[in-house]
Homo-oligomer: A and B are copies of this chain.
Amino acid sequence: MINQNDIEIVSKTLTFWDKLSTAQKELIKKNANLFHYKKGALLHGGENDCIGVLIIKTGTIRTYILSDEGREVTLFRLDSNDVCILSASCILQTITFDVQVEAETDCDIIQINSNTFSKITSENIYAENYSYQLTTERFSDVMWAMQQILFTSFDKRLAAFLLDESTKNDSDTIKMTHEQIAKYMGSAREVVSRMLKYFSNEGCVSLSRGGIHIIDKKKLRSFI
């Protein structure tokens, strides 16, 4: 059960809300819950499977795939007001793949469990259509990531990543280890370290224990 403010958020976010019957609206209200997730928590994947549809109030979640050897490749991230549907993938027949979803920062998330959402989508074509349309949006995100990974050389990708992080956090210092960056980029630590060393030699960044400090944005941007 969620409070009136969160019900407002749910009804505005789920664009099919007006197409629901009163009973269906009540069912969602009754089965929606607000959860707080700590940074790093695994929301979906492995043992925490198919927890339901997630409406992100605050924070960022990251969706990625995981190889048998534990290699991660980030597919996309979602922020406040975004809705995560792949965490309810079990209720959509045509999704036959598995992803992992983790809290990249502390998150407040309104969660509608899979059973409830499954009932609604089976009864209401507009709800079902919303789910597939949202999944198609994620398909677009994945295609973008795939083209980046397969077609863009690593220097470009790393430069873009550092500038994105800098803009996102409004800081010239990126407080991440080389290992963490490698994970986000689906690469290996050695590859990241080597390229950062190169950027450092070129005078674009300086490296320290605290992270990576961008000292020449223009030059770094010239790699993209």
Contacts and interface: CB of A to CB of B under 8 A. Distances in A.
Interface of A: 65, 67-69, 71, 73, 92-97, 99, 125-126, 128-129, 132-140, 142-144, 146-147, 149-151, 186
The 8 A-B pairs of least Cβ separation, nearest first, read A132-B132, A97-B143, A67-B151, A139-B139, A129-B129, A94-B137, A96-B140, A94-B136
Contacts of A95: 136, 139-140
Interface of A, secondary structure class, is helix
A132 B126 contact: no
Given A67-B150, A71-B151, A146-B146, A129 B140 contact: no
Given A126-B125, A139-B139, A143-B65, A186 B150 contact: yes
Contacts of A151: 65, 67-69, 71
Given A65-B147, A95-B136, 10 more contacts: A65-B150, A65-B151, A92-B136, A94-B136, A95-B139, A97-B140, A97-B147, A135-B136, A139-B139, A146-B146
Contact of A139 (B67, B93, B138): B138
A143 B75 CA distance: 10
Question: Which of A92, A97, A99, A136 has its CB near the most chain B CB atoms (within 10 A)?
Answer: A136
A96 to B, nearest CB: 4
